[in-house]
A and B are shown apart, each in its own frame.
Chain A
Amino acid sequence: MNKLMKKIMISVVLTGVAFALYQNFSLMPEYQGLNEGLSNYIIKSGLNDTGSLNLITAVLYDYRAFDSLGESTVIFGAVSGIVLILSRKMLPVSSKGLSFIVKRALGIMTPFIALFGFYVITHGHLTPGGGFQGGVILAAISIIFSIVYGSAFDYRRYSPQTKTLFETGGALTFLGLGLAGILMEGAFLQNLGFLTAETGTLISAGSIPYINIGVGFKVGAGLAIIFYSMIQKTFEEDF
């Protein structure tokens, strides 16, 4: 099969997918106002049920928290697989990184990136963001270290063992809150009612902020491990 044929085939398949998606969306029921349906129930009483101003976080970590547990388990599986296949040994890879001008200027910026990551994680139930997003921002710091300072620096700063500790700690926080839901409220991952404070404060919304923190650490450490085990190539020259 030559290249042109390949491209034509890909275009045909993509057009078919686009048509199918369009059909699906056109078959969706008409919007019927704010009175019916599950989404309308969530919009109406989500704030009362969970105390979280951000309804997406309310759905992710309260109504469908079990799904989120599954998602973070998927990340755990991906990390395990990639580490098993790619990283034959967890050794620091030598690399000089970029010039010291870049290193110094990024050194000034890195703490603020980390602080912003923590901000996104802890404000998950009040403003846009949450555990997944903030965790990826934290993982970006590891990528910056590996590229700019060389991966040996990343290894010294926080080694794969530390990252594994963070990841496991995050997962255990999530599971522990789920078990606490069984003990206190009677169902797995039930929102802990006694932790709820006045709406709009940082320590409100039951167990949602703590689940956010756990997921944030887990996702950040997990993605950092994935990236770290992918860069095995050594760069002798600095550029």
Chain B
Amino acid sequence: MAVLEIILVIFLVFSALMAVYFDEELISIIFLSIFSLVLTALYLLHKAADVALAEAVIGAGLNTAIFMSAISQIRHGDSD
């Protein structure tokens, strides 16, 4: 259990860093959704099923969709 937890935490930090590192918004959003997914697994590992469900639905599902529509608006506005 502890090994799995350490691996997941390393993945978490990695995906958060990558989300900051990339300039392209799309890649950042995808890494944020990976971040939420890993966080969901961690919550489940600590037996917080409620929070895991909320994190999966909101973080990995809804946030991605809303961010995508937001960047499509922004790009439509300034360049093409």
Instruction: Find out whether A and B make contact in their complex, taking CB atoms under 8 A apart as touching.
Output: yes
Residues of chain A whose beta carbon lies under 8 Å from any beta carbon of chain B: 3, 7, 10-11, 14, 54, 56-57, 86, 120, 128-130, 132-133, 136-137, 139-140, 143, 147, 223, 226-227, 230-233
A230 is contacted by which of B16, B54, B69 (Cβ under 8 Å)? Answer: B69
Q: Is the interface of A mostly helix, strand, loop or mixed?
A: helix
B50 is contacted by which of A133, A139, A143, A226 (Cβ under 8 Å)? Answer: A133
Residues of chain B whose beta carbon lies under 8 Å from any beta carbon of chain A: 16-17, 20-21, 23, 49-54, 57-58, 61-62, 65-66, 69-70, 72-73, 76
A230 to B73, CA, bound (A): 8
A231 and B53 within 8 A (CB): no
A231 and B20 within 8 A (CB): no
Question: What is the number of contacts between chain A and chain B, taking CB atoms within 8 Å?
Answer: 55
B23 and A130 within 8 A (CB): no
A-B contact pairs, 19 of them (CB 8 A): A3-B23, A11-B17, A14-B16, A56-B51, A120-B53, A128-B49, A128-B50, A129-B50, A132-B54, A133-B50, A133-B53, A136-B61, A136-B62, A140-B57, A230-B69, A230-B70, A231-B69, A233-B72, A233-B76
B residues in contact with A231, CB < 8 Å: 69, 72
How far in angstroms is the closest Cβ of chain A from B11?
16
- Asked, given contacts A7-B20, A233-B72, whether A227 binds B57 with beta carbons under 8 Å apart, the answer is no
B residues in contact with A129, CB < 8 Å: 50, 53
A residues in contact with B49, CB < 8 Å: 128
B54 and A233 within 8 A (CB): no
How far in angstroms is the closest Cβ of chain A from B6?
16
A11 to B21, CA, bound (A): 9
How far in angstroms is the closest Cβ of chain B from A56?
5
How far in angstroms is the closest Cβ of chain A from B49?
4
A136 and B69 within 8 A (CB): no
With A56-B50, A223-B62, A227-B69 known, 18 other A-B pairs at CB within 8 A are: A3-B23, A11-B20, A14-B16, A57-B50, A128-B49, A129-B50, A136-B57, A136-B62, A137-B57, A139-B62, A140-B62, A147-B65, A227-B65, A227-B66, A230-B66, A230-B73, A232-B73, A233-B73
